[in-house]
């Protein structure tokens, strides 16, 4: 049976053609031989298929036709799109200015009338035919392949929309179908991630999002607005008559050798329905971790973390930051025969081979929570939950991670360290976070410089300023030389709280030893007491001035006249009077440290141009003059080590978690972006765009 013919069986019962016994016989025989109800009745010599049809026609007061007598012209075939004909099991048999006649096997399926009359803006009339005739006609006139592009052309020819729609009188012919296909084909060819069709007061705006940026495309004619949205709604299998409520649907289509999936959402707006279609290119999913564009150090960290036997790994970032892609890459990497992986997703964006994917469907009661619960009974090793939105989901995820599962999920936070506060906000106990969470990765997608038009580039003052600002986020390294343990402890505490890294020494000799070991020239500033045993601050400063003239020295002094006199012979950058005032200390250090950074920047941008490979795309045909082609992830990986665990347990603030993580070497999104920009992969402009407002300015 090609259509559900239950209605026909019922009809035959009601008319006394079948009794309970023969009803069951017909049902069983039709199933067994794959025959239609009409053919089965004929086979069982109950009634001829033609008479069954006559009965059906009479019941619904419709004409019946024998499709074998019809030759359906090509124009008529083109009028009803392939997918519509197959889905509703109908064949067009006649058309004039105002109406279209279709042959159908199931006259109870009235949806097709709505769908077609919206699409074609014609009255649609039905006649009945046997389901076998319909199937045969579909095979004859519509091939099975649900391709929306013209099959004759190997490469779909891209012409302007205006060339398809030449004048308004054409509306009632096939161009709508062709136009809508073209909108999708063009988007795919431009590597767009989504298509936006927005009715405005005076036009129908069409935009493609390419590499994260919306580009306005030639508008389809405003007067075709309803035809276009109707066609798309039919393709997406959403209720075409509902125009006041938001709806979601999905279009699956084949484009040459590519399977395309489009997730469609429609929402009512003032000037009509606005449609957004997200393009999911299934050929893209052979994605592994190397394709994520991580630098080797980050990749190593990630590869280590994802193979932990249990725990939670969260990926954070706003919508469109590539979180799902990363999760899929992790799962692809982990997808080995000895592992069982289950996912709960909303929606399933790609099909992953060998992975059990479950679609969340809240209206049918398939919530994240419900799927997670049943998942755990399936004894998986690895679980992926699309998103943690509420306490219930979080609790089950944590429970799973604490009972020997590795759990991957996403959260909506801007940076990695804020994930802790977010989890606490939704009600997760800090001790559970501390024990379950293994790592959080924040990410963004920056546009990649187009290789075809990449040029060396000298950044602007503003960009350099930004770069300096971002380096300013690197903790300054201070060598604190002080013999009095209480003073040392106090200053160390102030410095630590204010983002500095501190090394200490008790006297000048020890201080010189520390400096001698500082091969990477990490120490930015030396703060020294003046009076100390063994080697005092005066001699130490003299030694530093000679051997390490790039390191500024700040002296702390009790400020008697003799000491101050002695200091005038030294090169010092600051003098702090004891007892130390913390504000004065920080102001002095901040002033000196920004000079250190400025000097470093000058060195790197003048003397060492070969280290920094600034580039920019100047725009070419390949990149549509944007200078960018494709995208590149930037990452911030927050690894939960025992010290961070302790801090989470003690409910320390996001700021201090962030500070400590940075102290332990975490690169922020901005750091990773800047290093990718200085390697010529993206631009500072792009990094600024993606990370603006993301970092809390703090240096006081």
Per-residue CA distances from 481 to 223, 517, 555, 556 (Å): 79, 16, 10, 10
| Minimum CB distance to Zn ion smaller for 214 or for 622 | 622
Residues 467 to 496 in contact with Zn ion, rule: CB under 5 A: none
By CB under 5 A, tell whether 210 contacts Zn ion.
no
- Identify the residue among 46, 171, 334, 452 touching Zn ion (CB under 5 A): 452
- Identify the residue among 159, 611, 622, 655 touching Zn ion (CB under 5 A): 622
- Please identify, among the stretches 268-276, 309-317, 364-372, 616-624, the one whose residues bind Zn ion according to the rule CB under 5 A: 616-624
Distance CA 641, CA 646 (A): 9
Q: What is the largest CA-CA distance in the chain?
A: 126
The helix (run of H) or strand (run of E) holding residue 199 is strand 192-199
| Minimum CB distance to Zn ion smaller for 617 or for 673 | 617
- Identify the residue among 623, 657, 666, 687 touching Zn ion (CB under 5 A): 623
Shortest Å, Cβ 352 to Zn ion: 33
- Please identify, among the stretches 10-18, 42-50, 295-303, 448-456, the one whose residues bind Zn ion according to the rule CB under 5 A: 448-456
- Please identify, among the stretches 254-262, 445-453, 509-517, 548-556, the one whose residues bind Zn ion according to the rule CB under 5 A: 445-453
Shortest Å, Cβ 617 to Zn ion: 5
| Minimum CB distance to Zn ion smaller for 238 or for 453 | 453
Shortest Å, Cβ 453 to Zn ion: 3
| Minimum CB distance to Zn ion smaller for 455 or for 458 | 455
Distance CA 299, CA 168 (A): 56
**# of chain residues touching Zn ion (CB under 5 A):** 7
Residues 353 to 412 in contact with Zn ion, rule: CB under 5 A: none
**Beta-strand relationship, 628-639 and 437-449:** antiparallel
Shortest Å, Cβ 455 to Zn ion: 10
Quick one: tokens of 270? 């003032």
For residues 516 and 467, is the Cβ–Cβ distance under 8 A?
no
Of 185, 164, 173, 355, nearest in space to 253 by CA? 185
Tally Cβ neighbours within 10 Å of residue 192: 22
**Beta-strand relationship, 204-210 and 192-199:** antiparallel
554: β partners:
527, 574
- Please identify, among the stretches 130-138, 361-369, 426-434, 622-630, the one whose residues bind Zn ion according to the rule CB under 5 A: 622-630
- Identify the residue among 620, 654, 675, 679 touching Zn ion (CB under 5 A): 620
- Identify the residue among 445, 453, 553, 648 touching Zn ion (CB under 5 A): 453
Shortest Å, Cβ 618 to Zn ion: 7
- Please identify, among the stretches 338-346, 373-381, 444-452, 501-509, the one whose residues bind Zn ion according to the rule CB under 5 A: 444-452
Burial letters 32-71, b for 16+ CB under 10 A, else e: eeebbbbbbbbeeebbebeebbebbbeeeebebbebeebe
- Please identify, among the stretches 360-368, 612-620, 635-643, 664-672, the one whose residues bind Zn ion according to the rule CB under 5 A: 612-620
Shortest Å, Cβ 447 to Zn ion: 11
- Identify the residue among 77, 176, 388, 450 touching Zn ion (CB under 5 A): 450
Is omega for the bond preceding 146 within 30 degrees of 0, making it cis?
no
For residues 393 and 369, is the Cβ–Cβ distance under 8 A?
yes
Q: How far is CA 491 from the centre of its chain?
A: 45
For residues 627 and 619, is the Cβ–Cβ distance under 8 A?
yes
What SS3 class is residue 326?
helix
Shortest Å, Cβ 213 to Zn ion: 14
Shortest Å, Cβ 625 to Zn ion: 7
Binding region for Zn ion (CB under 5 A): 450, 452-453, 617, 620, 622-623
């Amino acid at each position: 049976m090609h259509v559900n013919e239950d209605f026909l069986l019922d009809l035959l019962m009601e008319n006394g053609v079948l009794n309970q016994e023969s009803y069951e016989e017909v049902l069983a025989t039709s199933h067994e031989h794959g025959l239609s109800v009409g053919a089965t009745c004929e086979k069982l010599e109950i009634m001829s298929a033609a008479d069954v049809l006559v009965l059906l026609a009479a019941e619904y007061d419709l004409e019946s036709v024998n499709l074998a007598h019809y030759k359906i012209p090509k124009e008529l075939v083109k009028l009803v799109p392939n997918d519509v004909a197959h889905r509703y099991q109908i064949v067009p048999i006649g058309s004039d200015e105002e109406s279209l006649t279709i042959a159908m096997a199931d006259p109870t399926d009235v949806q097709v009338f709505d769908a077609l009359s919206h699409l074609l803006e014609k009255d649609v009339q039905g006649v009945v035919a046997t389901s076998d005739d319909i199937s045969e006609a579909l095979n004859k006139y519509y091939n099975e392949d649900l391709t929306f592009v013209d099959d004759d052309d190997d490469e779909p020819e891209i012409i302007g929309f205006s060339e398809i729609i030449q004048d308004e009188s054409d509306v009632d012919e096939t161009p709508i179908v062709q136009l809508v296909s073209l909108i999708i084909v063009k988007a795919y060819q431009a590597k767009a991630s989504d298509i936006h069709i927005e009715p405005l007061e005076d036009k129908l705006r069409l935009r493609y999002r390419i590499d994260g940026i919306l580009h306005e495309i030639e508008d389809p004619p405003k007067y075709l607005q309803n035809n276009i949205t109707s066609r798309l709604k039919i393709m997406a299998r959403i209720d075409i008559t509902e125009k006041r409520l938001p709806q979601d649907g999905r279009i699956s289509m084949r484009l040459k050798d590519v399977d395309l999936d489009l997730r469609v959402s429609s929402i009512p707006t003032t000037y009509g329905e606005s449609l957004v279609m997200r393009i999911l290119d299934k050929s893209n999913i052979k994605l592994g971790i190397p394709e994520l564009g991580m630098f080797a150090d980050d990749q190593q960290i990630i590869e280590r973390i994802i193979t932990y036997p249990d725990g939670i790994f969260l990926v954070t970032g706003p919508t469109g930051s590539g979180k799902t892609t990363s999760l899929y890459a992790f799962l692809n990497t982990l997808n080995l025969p000895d592992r069982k992986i289950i996912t709960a997703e909303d929606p399933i964006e790609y099909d992953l081979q060998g992975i059990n994917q479950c679609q969340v469907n809240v209206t049918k009661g398939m919530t994240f929570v419900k799927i997670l619960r049943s998942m755990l009974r399936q004894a998986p090793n690895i679980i992926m939950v699309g998103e943690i939105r509420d306490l219930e989901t979080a609790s089950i995820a944590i429970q799973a991670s604490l009972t020997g599962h590795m759990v991957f999920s996403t959260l909506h936070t801007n940076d990695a360290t804020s994930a802790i506060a977010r989890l606490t906000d939704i009600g997760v106990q800090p001790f559970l976070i501390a024990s379950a969470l293994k790592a959080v990765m924040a990410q963004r997608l920056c546009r990649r410089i187009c290789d075809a038009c990449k040029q060396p580039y000298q950044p602007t003052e503003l960009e350099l300023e930004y770069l300096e600002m971002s380096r300013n986020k690197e903790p300054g390294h201070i060598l604190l030389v002080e013999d009095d343990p209480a003073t040392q402890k106090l200053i160390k505490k102030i410095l630590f709280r204010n983002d500095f890294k501190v090394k200490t020494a008790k006297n000048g000799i020890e201080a010189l030893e520390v400096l001698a070991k500082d091969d990477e020239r990490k120490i930015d500033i030396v703060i020294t007491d003046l009076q100390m045993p063994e080697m005092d601050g005066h001699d130490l400063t003299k030694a530093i001035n000679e051997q390490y003239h790039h390191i500024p020295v700040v002296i702390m002094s009790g400020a008697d006249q003799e000491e101050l006199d002695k200091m005038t012979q030294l090169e010092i950058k600051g003098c702090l009077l004891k007892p130390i005032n913390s504000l004065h200390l920080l102001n002095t250090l901040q002033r000196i440290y920004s000079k250190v950074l400025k000097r470093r920047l000058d060195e790197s941008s003048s003397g060492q141009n070969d280290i920094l490979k600034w580039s920019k795309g100047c725009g070419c045909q390949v990149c549509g003059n944007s200078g960018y082609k494709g995208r590149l992830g930037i990452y911030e990986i927050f690894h939960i080590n025992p010290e961070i665990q302790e801090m989470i347990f003690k409910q320390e603030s996001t700021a201090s978690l962030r500070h400590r993580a940075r102290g332990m070497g975490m690169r922020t999104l901005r750091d990773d972006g800047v290093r990718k920009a200085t390697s010529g992969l993206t631009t500072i402009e792009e990094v600024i765009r993606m990370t603006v407002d993301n970092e809390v300015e703090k240096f006081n």
